Every structure is written in C-alpha cells, then in structure tokens.
Structure 1
Amino acid sequence: MTMGTALSRVTGMAARPQLVTVPAGLGRRLRAHRGFVAGVAFLTVVGLLALVGPLFADAAVTPDYRDQLAPPSAEHWLGTDQAGRDALARTVAAARTSLGAALLVFAITTAAGLLLGVAAGLLGGVVDAVLNRLVDILLGLPTLVLSLAVVGALGPGFGTLVLAMTVTEWARPAKLARAHTLGGMRRPDVVAARMAGASTWRVAAGHVLPGALTQVLIAATLGFGEVVLFLSGLSFLGLGAQPPTPEWGAMLAETRESYAVAPWLLVGPGVGLVLCLAGAALVSEALRDCTDPAERS
C-alpha cells in the first residue's frame, strides 16, 4: 500500500471530520508481526550499508580502465563495471545516496505537511481554503508529470529530483494532518481545555499535534518504498544522479549495454533495491494490519 492509497480513506474528512486514534498496544503487535520484523531487518541491512558507504567512496568513483568488466573474483567480489570500478564498492556507496535521498524527502515532506496541515486546520478561513485547494490540485496531478516539469525547468540532477519529489509529496501528509486537526479540536477534552481559557495553539500542541504526528508518520512510512522506487526510476532514465555518482537506478542504467557480457553488474543494485522495497512493503503491510480495525477483526 502506498502513501496515496493510505490517505485515500481520509479525502472526505473535510466534510466529515473525525479523529483517527492510534490503536492501543500498537508497538506490541508490531513486534509480534513477522512481516514487520523481517521488513525492519531488511531496512536495517540497507541502513548499515548506507552508514559504511563513505568508506567506499573513493573506490566507487575511481576508474581503472585496465580492469574493465572483470568477473567476480577474490579482489572484486561483484566484478567491475565499464570503467573498471569495483561493483561492490559502488553498490555500498549507492546505498547512502539512494536511502539518504529517500529519507530526506521523507523528513521534509512529513515536517512541512504536518505543520501546514495543522496550521490550516487551526486557522481555518482563507488560510484553510487556499491550502486545501492547493493540496487538492497537487493530489489531482500525476506525481510523474509534476516531477518531470520541475526537473525540466531546473535541469537533471539528484538534488533537483529530491526537490521535485518534495514539491509533489508534501500535500499528502498535509491532507491527513488537516483532517486529524479538524477532528481533534472537537474532542471533549480539547473543548473543555479551550473553555477553561487555554489558548488554541497551546491546546493543539498538547492534545492534537502528537496524534497528528503519529498518523502522518504512519502514512508516510506506507509511501516510503514508493519514494525509493520513484527516485531510482527517474535516475534510471538519466534525470537523477549523474555519473560517476553511485546510485542504484543509475547503476542499472549503466549496465544496459553490457549486461549480456557482464550480468554480475545487475546483482548489487538489484539486491539493494529489492531489500529496500521489500522491507518498506513488509513494514507497510504490518502497519496496515495493526492499525486497521477491519484487518484485526
């Protein structure tokens, strides 16, 4: 389930606000969920690769044309690419690029969407109307088309691609945060606190924001794999990371002319993407199972 699918259930909350609460015992159920444990294990492996990536930075970009397309050996466990660069070193270094970019998009869109959505729900009026229309427009446009427009305007590059994803993805958490805020401000305890003289912003910070943050994080996690795949896909098309920067999608693109004679070049980036996407999918499925009452009944 992607983040867009997860949020499709709340698109009607503007007319029918309601509070979505985090089920009690969520952590315990997740720890007992085999898919969640496996997904976290996969993502942990990718995370460890990203942490040690800088140790392989030089080997990942330094060419050695005397050793082009060398098969796997004791010296080069995954062989070498067209420029004689160690494929294993590039795979490990690419984990930092691919995962780091996805986490950056995740952090920016989650923070921006949360703050804007909560602000719109609290302020109401013109601010809420303008933000809601903007969110509806962004959600109505295909992410690919919008991202290609940004990349076309600013030029290809991984930084541009991250910016494009940020521009297109912040609307989803904003929609959810706004819906949660509208429902949260109608809770009896929140209404009582406001009647007792507490300011709206103080009540929101203490009673509404924590729940909105939890829901936004859950929904954003559901779409994390989508972000990784999207970034790698556009890099594969030459719109993201540019040579010699190691990135899984770009590495797969570089093997198009040589995979017939050097199929080992597909192993590193392929396994990296599978681990990341499978881990995100398993965690997403576990979150759906443990937070959806219909799935638990």
Structure 2
Amino acid sequence: MWPITGSTHGRSVADPAVGALRLRGVGQRAGAPVFANPLNVAALVLIGAFAICAVLAPIVAPYDPLAQALGSRLEPPSPQHWLGTDQLGRDIASRLLYGARISLVIGIVVVALAGIFGTLVGLVAGYAGGLVDETLMRVTEVFLAFPPLILAMAIAGALGPSLTNAIIAIAAVTWAVYARLTRGQLLSLRRREFVEAARAIGASRGRILARHLLPNALAPLMVQASFDMGGAIISAAGLSFIGFGAQPPTPEWGVMISEGRNFISTQPWLSLFPGLAILFAVGSFNVLGDGLRDELDPRLRRAA
C-alpha cells in the first residue's frame, strides 16, 4: 500500500484543500526522479513520438492507408515506400502511422472506461463495507479468476468481431484490477485521522470520497493505468490477429501482422514492422509504469 500521513504541513486534516494538496504532491513526486532515469526518459520520448504520429497521421503519412496499387504489391523498403508495400500494394509506413492512431485510441478508451468504472466500484465497496463490500468484491473476483485474454476473447466472440466490441471486451476484463486497488487503498485510509476529522465536522460521504479518499488512492491507479495502456494495445492487436477485433482493411497493427503471416518467409517486412511498433509502444508504457511505481511506492523509495 501507499501510506499517507494524516496531516499536510500543518494544515488541518479536515481542511477541504488538503486532498487537492496531496494530489498535487503525487504529481510533484512523480516528476523529477522519473525524468532523472535515462530509461524512463527514453520511454517518454517513444510515447511522445507515438502520440505525435497518431495525431498527425493524416499529415505525415505519405499515402492513403487504404489505397491499393496492385502494380506495386510486395515491394521491399525503398525511397518511394519507406517500409515497403503489402500484398495489395498499400504503403506499410502509412498504415503503421494510422495504426498508431487506432492503438492510442484503444489504450485511452480502455483505460478510461475500466479506470472510471473500476474506481467507482472500489470506492463504493471500500467506503460502504459490509454486505455491499462483500457483494462487489465477489463479483470482482469472478472477473479476476479468468485469464484476461481468454475472457476478452469470449466476450468479443459473443459480441461479434469489430474494433468497438474488442474495446468493450478488453475494458470488461480490466476494470476489476482498479476496483481491487481502490478498495484496498480505502480500507487503509477510511479510519485515518483526516477522514475521521472530516466526518466530525459533518462532511458528506461524497465529499469525503472526492476530497480526501480518492486523491490519496491515486498513486497505484496511475501506475496501473500506465501498464494497462500497453496491455490494451497488445490485447487489441491479439484479438485483431485472430479475427475478433478490427477487421480488414482497417490499418490496425494486429490486422497487419495477421495479413502478413502468409508471407513471413519471403516478405518478412509485412509483419516485422507492425510487430516492432507493438513492441516499442507496449514496452515504453511498461517502462513508464515501472518508473512511476518505483517513485510513488514509498517501500521501493526506501529500498533504493
């Protein structure tokens, strides 16, 4: 757990601004030390490049990612086609850039849906306790009992193959982690002095949750969100690869790998470049998550 003290530089533990101060403190702690690590800096640079490519794909892509040129099919990398062309003559570099946009949207939407829903469930369970806590945690444990990708495949298969359904399936198997993390944090915080003081002055449950408990539970949620960005990207690519996610001709990285697998021995660039894109994108988010965890977990800071 991430223990939080009951006072903030002499401020009253029941002061409504204390929660906001702690929230700013989380951001300040995660700043300089994370940037001081060269590996974390490299990860942030790659994530920044990934985001820029996603946002500027329509501007920087040299070709239409869906435009076919059968006379130029399966060409190796060249000055005209930086990363070569696929079996339909489509420019792989352009499809990779548009694939970055799709992957970024997948990561953001999955983390937003799972994070918001899971955090709300954890807040209610951790603060209410009793039967409400037991019921919500038993439901959460059902989702945690299954391998995430297998459960996502089952949900996506039931909903039907599409990118939207893949996002729903991945979010559905991700929210339970946020619920458990949030609930664990609240169990350790709800009897702290600053929470008891807020109750004593008549603060409502909603105000206590929003101003005092949630800001103190954000540190592990931030770390988990970074890991889940990468997890969502690779899960979506996996679902698309087996036909449960994005469908051709969508320029999604998993679709590109799937389409190139029949040419892996003769034209390896069809699958190699989207595979490398997934590797660097997912690896960067995981490295960033490790850096945030090392900085925000006081046990690891003390060990260092």
Q: TM-score range by the shorter chain?
A: 0.7 to 0.9
Q: Which residue does 2:184 correspond to in 1?
A: 179
Q: Which residue does 1:42 correspond to in 2?
A: 46
**1:53 aligned to 2:57?**
yes
Q: Which residue does 2:88 correspond to in 1?
A: 83
Q: Which residue does 1:98 correspond to in 2?
A: 103
Q: In structure 2, list runs of 5 or more residues that go unmatched.
A: 6-25
Q: CA deviation at 1:149?
A: 1.5
**1:156 aligned to 2:125?**
no
Match 2:33 to one of 29, 35, 41: 29
1:37 maps to amino acid: V
Structure 2 counterparts to residues 1-297 of structure 1, below 5 A: 19=3, 25-55=29-59, 56=61, 59-296=64-301, 297=303
Which fold has the larger relative contact order, with Cα–Cα distance below 8 Å and residues 6 or more apart in sequence?
1
Matched-pair contact (CA < 8 Å) for 2:114–2:171? yes
1:185 maps to amino acid: R
CA–CA distance in structure 2, aligned partners of residues 197 and 240 of structure 1: 50
1:151 maps to amino acid: A
Matched-pair contact (CA < 8 Å) for 2:219–2:296? no
Matched-pair contact (CA < 8 Å) for 1:106–1:224? yes
1:76 counterpart SS class: coil
| 1:197/1:295 CA distance change after superposition, 3 Å | closer
CA–CA distance in structure 2, aligned partners of residues 87 and 80 of structure 1: 5
1:59 counterpart SS class: coil
CA–CA distance in structure 1, aligned partners of residues 72 and 236 of structure 2: 30
TM-score (norm 1): 0.87
1:184 maps to amino acid: L
**RMSD, aligned α-carbons:** 2.1
Matched-pair contact (CA < 8 Å) for 1:49–1:95? yes
Q: CA deviation at 1:276?
A: 0.3
Q: CA deviation at 1:292?
A: 3.4
Matched-pair contact (CA < 8 Å) for 2:30–2:296? yes
| 1:295/1:203 CA distance change after superposition, 3 Å | closer
CA–CA distance in structure 2, aligned partners of residues 294 and 200 of structure 1: 30
CA–CA distance in structure 1, aligned partners of residues 194 and 300 of structure 2: 29
1:248 maps to amino acid: W
| 1:51/1:24 CA distance change after superposition, 3 Å | closer
| 1:292/1:209 CA distance change after superposition, 3 Å | closer
CA–CA distance in structure 2, aligned partners of residues 25 and 59 of structure 1: 43
CA–CA distance in structure 2, aligned partners of residues 213 and 25 of structure 1: 13
Say which is worse superposed, 49-58 or 60-69, in terms of deviation: 49-58
Deviations 1:22-44 (A, max 9, x none): 59733221121222111111111
Q: Which residue does 2:12 correspond to in 1?
A: none
CA–CA distance in structure 2, aligned partners of residues 274 and 142 of structure 1: 21
Matched-pair contact (CA < 8 Å) for 1:255–1:265? yes
| 1:95/1:24 CA distance change after superposition, 3 Å | closer
Q: CA deviation at 1:145?
A: 2.3
* Percent identical residues: 37
CA–CA distance in structure 2, aligned partners of residues 172 and 195 of structure 1: 32
Q: Which residue does 2:16 correspond to in 1?
A: none
CA–CA distance in structure 2, aligned partners of residues 292 and 238 of structure 1: 39
1:52 maps to amino acid: L
Matched-pair contact (CA < 8 Å) for 1:20–1:180? no
| 1:182/1:104 CA distance change after superposition, 3 Å | same
Aligned residue pairs total 281
1:246 maps to amino acid: P
Say which is worse superposed, 225-234 or 258-267, in terms of deviation: 258-267
| 1:240/1:212 CA distance change after superposition, 3 Å | same
Q: CA deviation at 1:267?
A: 4.0
